[in-house]
Structure 1
Amino acid sequence: MNKDQVKGRVEEGKGKIKETVGKVIDNEQMEVEGKVQKNVGKGQAGYGDVKENIKKKH
C-alpha cells in the first residue's frame, strides 16, 4: 500500500464522519463539506491504486 492509498482512505473516512455529523446536527454546509472530502479521498485512493497496479506489473 502506498501513501496515496493510505491518505486517500483516511480522507474518505474523515469525510464520511463529517457528512454524518452534518446530517445529525442538521448542518447542510458540514454535510456537503463531508461529501466533498469523501470524494476527494476516493479520488486520491484510486490514484494510489493505479500507481500500485502499475508498480506490480513492472
Structure 2
Amino acid sequence: MSIAKKIAHKAEAVKGGTKKAAGRGTGSRRLQAEGRGDQIKGNIKQAAAKIKDAFKH
C-alpha cells in the first residue's frame, strides 16, 4: 500500500471526526451521523490496508 493511500485513509477518518464534532457543536444530527460514517469508513480502509500489508510480507 502506498504512503499516499495511507495518508488519504487517515485524512478521511480525521475529516469524519471533524464533521462529527461540528455536528455535535451545532446540534445537527445529520452532520454527526455523516461524520461518524466518514470516520468509520476511513478506519475500515486503514485496517484493510494493514491486513493487506501483513500478508504481503
TM-score, with normalisation over the residues of structure 1?
0.84
How many Å separate the matches in 2 of 1:53 and 1:31?
Answer: 33
* Structure possessing the higher relative contact order (Cα contacts under 8 Å, 6 or more residues apart): 1
What stretches of structure 1 move > 4 A for 4+ residues in a row?
none
Structure 2 matches for 1:1-58, cutoff 5 A? 2=2, 3=5, 5-55=6-56, 57=57
Aligned length: 55
Residue identity (%):
22
Gapped runs of 5+ residues in structure 1? none
Gapped runs of 5+ residues in structure 2? none
CA-based RMSD: 1.3
TM-score, with normalisation over the residues of structure 2?
0.85
